[in-house]
Amino acid sequence: MTFDPFGDFKTRGYLRNLANEKELEIVRRLEHTSFMTGIDAAFERLAAIERLSYQDVLETHKILFEAVYPWAGQDRLQTAPDLAVSKGSVLFARPMDIQRAVDWALEHGQDKKFVTAKPGEVMGYLAYGHPFLDGNGRTIMVVHGVLAHRAGFSIDWAATRKSDYLSALTNELDSPGKGHLDTYLKPFVRDAVTEDGLAITIAQAPGLDGGVELNEVLGNMNDPALRARYEQQELKRIRK
């Protein structure tokens, strides 16, 4: 099933990409090229900012994917405010809660003691926010890379396995703050690389060129069943 939150896939292609392309494999190649082209500029911009904010996450996505999507840098509250979005068993934050989740991650991710102890929990909240219709994983890896670097460590992404990482991330999203992603990531924690090495570290992550599993539109946010599911999910998220 095609992920078509705009409802115009037949006329404008996958997520209104600038090439009007409908073949997902081609879109993924366009995304990867855009990401690899923009990653140095994204890190350079983030390095110049003393304290990262939600707007910086949006701007990072724009730099990485503006060659592919006209809505790059716009979150789901702008692009799909009434839609519930999931991937597999994971239900991402409601559009109205995206910034709250990402702000939590940025606040704790810029607490050196916290992010050093719980790098996976910070990553999990960034992932739960899922601000964009596509390109979330690569965007949050860039942001997380900066947070880790400022705390004095890096993740050896080249040594990770995509399937294992995604499994741990799914468990983290389902049961936040229980250490699922912390446990997975900690064996790959290394001393901080140089700022010039950040892009290389992220670029070496397996499966960075995307995959075939798409987001899914579950329905409208006015659906009582969805509202109840979200409320149950939010009860798991205790913001310290």
What residue ranges do the domains of the chain occupy? 9-234
pLDDT at 62 over 60: yes
Q: What pLDDT does residue 231 have?
A: 86
CATH topology of domain 9-234: Fic-like fold (1.10.3290)
Hey, what are 113's tokens? 């003691």
pLDDT at 234 over 90: no
Q: Residue 238 — pLDDT band, cuts 50, 70, 90?
A: low
Interval 93-100 mean pLDDT:
95
pTM of the complete model: 0.95
Amino acid at 22: K
Contact present, 122 and 108 (Cβ < 8 Å): yes
Q: Residue 88 — pLDDT band, cuts 50, 70, 90?
A: confident
pLDDT at 240 over 60: no
List alpha helices for 48-205, DSSP H: 54-65, 76-79, 98-109, 112-117, 119-129, 136-151, 162-174, 180-185, 198-203
Q: What pLDDT does residue 1 have?
A: 65
The predicted-structure confidence for 203-227, as pLDDT tens digits, reads as follows 999 877 666 567 899 899 989 999 8
pLDDT at 102 over 60: yes
The predicted-structure confidence for 149-190, as pLDDT tens digits, reads as follows 999 999 999 999 999 999 999 999 999 989 999 999 999 999
